[in-house]
Amino acid sequence: MNSPYLVPVAQLLRDVPSSVEVNFSAPFDEEHEFEPLPAADSDVMPDADATVAVRVQSFRGGIRVRGTVAAPWRGVCRRCSAPIVGLLEVPVDERYVENLPPEDEEAYPVEGDFINLATMVHDAIFLELPIAPLCREDCQGLCPMCGIDRNEATCACQPASDPRWATLDALRSEDDSSQ
């Protein structure tokens, strides 16, 4: 019961409204619940520390948690396959409720005299992990013909001029701009 993710709230719930600031860094996966994903997928770095900076405030029957959570992540560029690392910082504004009704899927439970921030931090970070990250906005990718990294070199391959590819290219650039 020594995890910094476990925040005692008995006093806060007795004294409504009251609040405390909670700031800490601790392993994202303290419980080792998560299998590392395949290297090609975006993932939180194994054993990385998540940083939590939130205000924990009581209301009648529950606790509101507002602030930011951050964790380093890794992935590979979807155009050139270069490894990427970054820091994901996510704003959070969540409720913890005493005697949480099962139909309330928007809130987390107050567990006895504690709230456990770990699940909330996992949810916030996993939701925001970039699914198809780019090493940089204007990554040129690899040449589809010779495989050269177009960020580092140019090749003499001619782009396919088959008009059927034009539609596909248009779709691709739509896809890119939705990132």
Binding-site size, Zn ion (CB under 5 A): 12
Regarding 84 and contact with Zn ion (CB under 5 A), the answer is no
Regarding 88 and contact with Zn ion (CB under 5 A), the answer is no
Regarding 155 and contact with Zn ion (CB under 5 A), the answer is yes
Regarding 153 and contact with Zn ion (CB under 5 A), the answer is no
Question: What φ, ψ does residue 13 adopt, rounded to 5°?
Answer: -75, -25
Question: In which element (H, E) is residue 167 found?
Answer: helix 164-177
Regarding 139 and contact with Zn ion (CB under 5 A), the answer is yes
Nearer to Zn ion, 22 or 148 (CB): 148
Regarding 80 and contact with Zn ion (CB under 5 A), the answer is yes
**In sequence order, what DSSP letters do the residues of 53-97 get, joined into one string?**
EEEEEEETTEEEEEEEEEEEEEEE-TTT--EEEEEEEEEEEEEEE
Query: Smallest distance, Å, CB 176 to Zn ion?
Result: 12
The closest of 24, 9, 144 to 80, measured between CA atoms, is 144
Nearer to Zn ion, 79 or 95 (CB): 79
Write the Ramachandran bin of 61: left for phi over 0, alpha for psi from -120 to 50, otherwise beta: left
Regarding 79 and contact with Zn ion (CB under 5 A), the answer is yes
CA distance 136 to 138: 6
Question: What φ, ψ does residue 130 adopt, rounded to 5°?
Answer: -65, 130
Query: Quick one: which segment of 12-20, 46-54, 57-65, 129-137 binds Zn ion (CB under 5 A)?
Result: 129-137
Nearer to Zn ion, 67 or 130 (CB): 130
Site residues (vs Zn ion, CB under 5 A) = 77, 79-80, 82, 135, 139, 143, 145-146, 148, 155, 157
